[in-house]
Structure 1
């Protein structure tokens, strides 16, 4: 039976997450984490091999939290709208974590096993099992979110209306017909 992270490793990840949330990626250094935990930086490497492992542990936490938020939201009336709202709330509440999770290649080999799939599952279910529609919905949500976080919309833009319009368009698209079905992709 595999053991989970040690209590010290969990403490290190918690300190890293706190620094990230407070100061953004620039504040997340092994030296700063060590100071926060009260150890020398070299001691961190007994528990996590490098900064990439620390970031992956924090990203894994983010995916787990996002999965929980999606699962809670998906039980509502319009699942795509509810999941979109949960996604937007998560990003607004954790903008630095959101950026860490989405602005560069995802270190999948370092993430907790299954955490990315767990986060995606409610969205795929809300898209009627259509992974392509789920990807399109995620791309819409990410684009809206990152533009909102970076202040790229014009002053006075009604972002709630833009979200509603995007979700309505995706909902109207519905799942793609299966391959070989009339109107579906050819094999």
Structure 2
């Protein structure tokens, strides 16, 4: 009898993300992911106890992707406003590449399906450090404001919420300018 096929974490994550983006979060099931990676569903239980844990793998991967981009920006740029601008742009770019998976970062169907708290820490540190340089008295509220605005803009953009015409890229730039000005007092 041949040995069962071993699935790498990268293969598993890629399958979850592909299914989520192609068919939606509800389509991410143990059996669908197992079929996508060429194993039987019980084989996945070594890596994920249920579908929420599969979704968490995708959420953690998306956070790691965003963190890598944001950390590189923070290392290369000294101006905290430019770092925050880069954070918002990186979030928008991720939303463009992974419009379904990004929803796991802010609105997972269950707490276990969202990103691991420890996985979010490096991203939050960059965000809070940059915000703290321009709004030291209220770092968390300012970080939440920027994040909520950027994510809300992305969701409206993805859902066709900007039907009034005009340049959506220019609107993003202008909105970001206004939010950053407001954060900086």
TM class by shorter-chain length?
0.7 to 0.9
Q: TM-score, normalized by length of structure 2? A: 0.79
Contact 2:63 2:115 in 1 (8 A): no
**Structure 2 segments unaligned to the other structure (5+ residues):** 1-5
Hey, what does 1:40 align to over in structure 2? 40
Q: Distance in 2 between matches of 1:159 and 1:133?
A: 24
**Structure 1 segments unaligned to the other structure (5+ residues):** 1-6, 177-187
CA drift at 1:173: 2.6
Q: CA, structure 1 residues 109+21, in 2 after alignment: closer, same or farther (shift >3 Å)? A: closer
The structure whose RCO (Cα within 8 Å, separation 6+) is larger is 2
RMSD of aligned Cα (Å): 2.5
Aligned length: 170
Q: Distance in 2 between matches of 1:162 and 1:109?
A: 32
- Aligned pairs for 1:22-37 (under 5 A) are 22-37=22-37
CA drift at 1:101: 2.6
Partner of 2:49, secondary structure, is coil
Hey, what does 2:146 align to over in structure 1? 137
CA drift at 1:50: 0.7
Hey, what does 2:95 align to over in structure 1? 91
Hey, what does 2:160 align to over in structure 1? 151
Q: Distance in 1 between matches of 2:119 and 2:109?
A: 16
Q: CA, structure 1 residues 51+38, in 2 after alignment: closer, same or farther (shift >3 Å)? A: same
